[in-house]
A = this chain, B = another copy of it.
Amino acid sequence: MAARKHGVLETGKAGMARDLVRLSDVAKAAGVSQGTASNVFSRPDLVRPEVRERVHKTARELGYAGPDPRGRLLRAGKSNAIGVATAEPLSYFFEDPFARVLMQGISEACDERGAGLALVSARNSERLAWNIQSALVDGFVLLCIENGEKLVELTRERQLPFVALALGKPDDTISAIGVDDYAGAQMAARHLAQLGHRRFGILAIEFDEEHEGPVNGAAIAGATYSTARDRAYGYFEELALYGVDRETIPIYETRSTADSVRRGLDHILSGSERPTAILAMSDRVAMFALELLAERGVSVPGDISIAGFDGVPEAATANPPLTTVVQPIAEIGRRAVKTILEHDGGVHRESLPLELLVRNSTAAPSARS
């Protein structure tokens, strides 16, 4: 009661006097040492009940808010929270389907272990750097979508445990969890080839920082992002087994937006020999393509088959439901958290299995194609 009354008074003096009362004030007022006062709150069983009660009473009378986590943090060292960082804006965590499923896995693991969760990001890279430098966390999960190198660079300087979500990096001295994009791409390609398709088009995700448009072999070899590169090679190698020459496959690098997918589709379908199957490097891109084709009256899988990649939940309810290579996204998140919280100073690299999930967006090419 006294506490509440005091609190009201405090906030009443709009904007003035912040939290003036500290543990040492309580200790002094209660006539005990600061050490004892601290024990009252953190390890009550070490304190004689009467003393404990007296200190509590004093604290209430003074309006003490309880031990300030800032002080504790400094002493204890651990903030008991992990940070998830990415170079995208913060809202990415709540918008992107992949990120959302990943975060579900991450948050489950955090809940289980009682760890907190801090989202670290920013629109411009200067602020991102600052945010990473000043994040109050015990470790980082790096969502390496856009600007992975930079992210790793910045995080490394914090000298905290971290794990990159993407194995591709040439640098295998850092911990990472990911999937075998190459093998996954092979699965998708094999599936379509075995259905009888021989004419393909590829709707790619980002190979490089800023580029959009048709892509050739050299560009792929020099790609900044290994995810796209590996998936491309996976497609190529597998299709080669079925006698499909990679040179004949139109491939368009999109920016994962509806507009760029539209342009990509135009490019791919404009050739003399129209593909009967499209390999999309992400479900997101595949689903944009699905919508656009429906608008144009092209039947999927009647006229064209499409296979995606990632296995986001939305793929199941797309129209038609999307055949895709599913990543264990939530599991990746869970393991990332585990890796950080159980960090032992070593490097932890892990590749999780992919799985082809056949739905209705793929079928044998029709006779008339």
How far is A3 from B65 in the complex, measured between Cα atoms in Å?
Answer: 42
Contact A136:B73 (CB < 8 A) given known A66-B157, A108-B91, A116-B120: yes
Q: Mark A330-348, 1 if CB is under 8 A from B, else 0.
A: 0000000000000011110
Q: Does A46 contact B (CB under 8 A)?
A: no
Q: Is the CB of B104 within 8 A of A91?
A: yes
Nearest B residue to A174 via CB reads B11
Chain B neighbourhood of A233, CB < 8 A: none
Q: Is the CB of B121 within 8 A of A118?
A: no
Q: Does A103 contact B (CB under 8 A)?
A: yes
Chain B neighbourhood of A72, CB < 8 A: 134
How far is A81 from B131 in the complex, measured between Cα atoms in Å?
Answer: 10
Q: Count the A residues whose beta carbon is within 8 Å of the partner chain — how many?
A: 63
Q: Does A28 contact B (CB under 8 A)?
A: no
Tell me how many chains of this kind the complex includes: 2
Q: Is the CB of B345 within 8 A of A13?
A: yes
Q: Does A170 contact B (CB under 8 A)?
A: no
23 A-B pairs with C-beta separation under 8 A? A10-B159, A14-B344, A15-B344, A15-B345, A16-B345, A65-B158, A69-B133, A69-B136, A70-B73, A70-B79, A73-B136, A74-B74, A81-B118, A90-B107, A90-B117, A91-B111, A94-B101, A111-B121, A111-B122, A114-B122, A117-B118, A117-B119, A136-B136
| Chain A residues proximal to chain B, CB less than 8 Å | 7-8, 10-16, 18-19, 63, 65-66, 69-74, 77, 79-81, 89-91, 93-95, 100-101, 103-104, 107-108, 110-111, 114, 116-123, 127, 130-131, 133-136, 156-159, 173, 344-347
